[in-house]
Structure 1
Amino acid sequence: MATEAQRRATSAYRKKSVKQLTIRFYPNDEDEIMYTWLKNQGNTTEYIKSLIRQDMNNERELP
């Protein structure tokens, strides 16, 4: 179990170093389909990161 000092240190590190984005899906048909697809991908963070990597690689290959 983490001590109070460890919890504070972890919290300070996250505030300083970790980047976070929020995505919202509204109740319309297209968003519901995308949300369901995303949730079925297993690790959503890795899935989104892999899509971004692919897109970045495709941009580099353009003339």
Structure 2
Amino acid sequence: MERRSLGEGSKGQRCYDWTWFDVTLSGRQPADGFAHHLLVRRSTDSIIGNNKAASMRISCA
């Protein structure tokens, strides 16, 4: 996991924790030279209930 700042926002510094996983998608093969990954971003200050909020994106790289 790596913590990165996205710069100043209206409420101050916006920091997120990022991590990247290789994933296998059932029945879907990536094109030659590509792979499937899961990129997860978690806000370091956004709390929903007692849990930290996370957003997930699937990308090909």
Assess same fold via TM > 0.5: no
Question: Could you say which structure has the higher strand fraction?
Answer: 2
- Bin the TM-score by the shorter chain: under 0.3
Q: Taking structure 2 as the reference length, what is the TM-score of the superposition?
A: 0.21
Q: Taking structure 1 as the reference length, what is the TM-score of the superposition?
A: 0.20
